[in-house]
Structure formats: C-alpha cells, structure tokens
Amino acid sequence: MPVPLFAIGPAPLALESLVSAVASESDGVDPSTSSGRCGAIVTFLGLVRNHNQGRRVQYLEYEAYEPLALKAFARIDDEVRGRWPGMRLALHHRTGRLGIGEASVAIVTASPHRGDAFAACRYVIERVKQIVPVWKHEHFDGGDVWIEGATADPDDQAARAEAERIACA
C-alpha cells in the first residue's frame, strides 16, 4: 500500500518510503514521463533537541488538530505548486510523546533542479511553523511548558512572504 503524501499521527516517520512516494508520484500532466523529470530530491527531518532556551529537555509531547492540520498541509502544497510549478511534496508530522533525537516532521521535495527543491523544502518547514495547528508540550528538568510560536493565520501575506524570503535567501 503506498504511503500517503500528507499525514499526521503517532506513527514513526519513514523517510525512505516518503522519498519513494514522491519519486513515483505522477506530475498530473503526463504520468508516463513523471518520474524521469526529477533531477533532485531534497529531504528534511526535524528532530527533538535535548535543550531549548537554557532548559534541559526530557521529551516533547505533540498535540494536533488533525483534520485542520491536513487541510493546512494541502494549502502549503498549493502554495508550493503555485510558486514552483511542477514541484512535488510529501509532508508527515508526528503526534504524541517523542524522545530526544526522534524525528517529529519529515519533508520531501522533488523537482527538475536542485535549487528549487532546496528552496521549496525550506519554505515548507517555515510554513509548517506558521500555520499548521500543532503544539509542542515541552517536558524539561524541573517542569513543563507549552511552546507557543506564531498566531496561525493562513491569509497573512506578510508571514507567507517572510517564509518565501527565508527560503530563497
């Protein structure tokens, strides 16, 4: 059974199967020529770090509003395809308790040229941090805290432009 391109849940991330899924995905134009068009696949794994803002982290618990997270993934995919036509994307995020060193997010981008694939991959992680309804509950030596980053607003064009600026720097 093929791996879905977009998923969120407690299952451990499997980067290789995500790469395979992206590599074999039809480009929606001409399936017979799909896989041969790619000259580059870029992958990103986000890991649970053992320190944060001077605290010694023990583990993280990730919570998500899953149906909305999947819609946010689809929105990011639309944005990517609009900015980099023909780009293919896979994006998985984990939920639940994750220990130090475990992967929390996996991103795969594929395109004819490496520059676009690198830029799109960076863009996707920036947008994940801006608009995907996921929260880290950090458990550290001496306590716990909910991490709160960006106010999620998919229509905030300034935030989107900032993600693009970082991606294309």
Nearest to other proteins of 25, 138 (CB atom): 138
3-state SS record for 50-111 = CEECCEEEEEEEEEECHHHHHHHHHHHHHHHHHHCCCCEEEEEEECEEEECCCEEEEEEEEE
Complex with other proteins: residue 7 or 105, whichever CB lies closer: 105
Q: Whole-number minimum distance, CB 164 to other proteins, in Å?
A: 17
d(C-alpha 59, C-alpha 62), whole Å: 10
Nearest approach in angstroms of CB 151 to other proteins is 5
Q: Shortest distance, CB of residue 165 to other proteins, whole angstroms?
A: 18
Q: How far is the CB of 12 from other proteins (least distance, A)?
A: 17
Burial readout 68-80 (b: 16 or more C-beta within 10 A, e: otherwise): ebbbbbeebbebb
State which residue, 87 or 107, has the beta carbon closest to other proteins.
107
Q: What is the distance of C-alpha 25 from the center of its chain?
A: 18
The residue count for the chain: 169
List residues near other proteins by CB under 8 A: 46, 62-65, 67-69, 71, 93, 104-105, 125, 128-137, 146-155
Q: Which is nearer to other proteins, 30 or 155 (CB)?
A: 155
